[in-house]
Amino acid sequence: MKEDIEPFLTRTTCPLCQRDVVITWQADTIPYFGDVVHTSAQCECGFHYADTMILTQREPVRYTLRVESLADLDARVVRSTSGTIRIPELGIDIEPGPASESYVSNVEGVLCRIEDVMGMVTRWQDETPQTTDKAHELLSALEKVKQGELDITLIIEDPLGNSAIISKRATRQELSPEQAEMLKTGMILLEKDDLPESLD
């Protein structure tokens, strides 16, 4: 963390109780993600907010890894808040939204995250039988991948270039501006020059 940079404070109104709340903005540098700003706020009523905004912007990129062995499950995956994850064979597209989280994991960790979501779908009582059946099918397929019984292709696309698959077997391809425009960012984009001086 950039300990020589003091946090920057702003005030806002709590969305739950309307009290004044202080938001703390702290600059930092994270490996693979670059320059970021951590924001956090907590109100007496119990409301809590925390987020990390990535300031670094690189060339739009697509990483592709053919997962064909148990060793491939250990490949490191860096997914930023603007990264889209695709597994074409299973019809899985995970696009970023306003609540997207960045993380560093491995291929197996990504599959476990998808399993968690599919597991919730199977427990929702208001879902149609077709939806829950599809979720069970995906859970079965994901388990086969983790056991090395099913090959898949893992793709990460990022219009801001902050995601990656770190493996000698992964391929990297820069995206055209037209391809990048088709991808969601899942965030409010800030120009670094627009931030307060204490965050530069």
pLDDT tens track for 7-26: 889 999 998 899 999 999 99
Whole-model pTM: value is 0.73
- Each domain of the chain, given as residue ranges in start order, spans 8-56, 61-181
Encoded tokens for 13: 């109104």
With beta carbons less than 8 A apart as the criterion, state whether 82 and 159 touch. Answer: yes
Q: How many angstroms separate the CA atoms of 72 and 34, rounded?
A: 26
DSSP state of 161: S
**Domain at 61-181, CATH from 3.40.50.2300, 2.60.120.1040, 3.40.50.620, 3.40.50.720:** 2.60.120.1040
- What is the reported pLDDT for 185? 73
Q: Is 75 exposed, middle or buried (0-12, 13-18, 19+ CB in 10 A)?
A: buried
Q: Is 67 exposed, middle or buried (0-12, 13-18, 19+ CB in 10 A)?
A: buried
Q: How many angstroms separate the CA atoms of 140 and 132, rounded?
A: 12
CA angle 164, 170, 174 (to 5 degrees): 60
pLDDT tens track for 55-80: 777 899 999 999 999 999 999 998 88
DSSP state string for 68-93 = -SGGGGGSEEEE-TT-EEEEGGGTEE
Total residue count of the chain as it appears in this document: 200
- What is the reported pLDDT for 142? 95
Dihedral over alpha carbons 149, 153, 158, 164 (to 10 degrees): 60
DSSP state of 6: -
CATH 2.20.25.420 at 8-56, yes or no: yes
Place of tokens 């993380």: 103
- What is the reported pLDDT for 99? 67
pLDDT tens track for 106-155: 999 999 999 998 888 888 877 788 888 888 999 999 999 999 999 999 99
Instruction: Calculate the alpha carbon distances from 181 to 16, 115, 177 in Å.
Output: 35, 29, 6
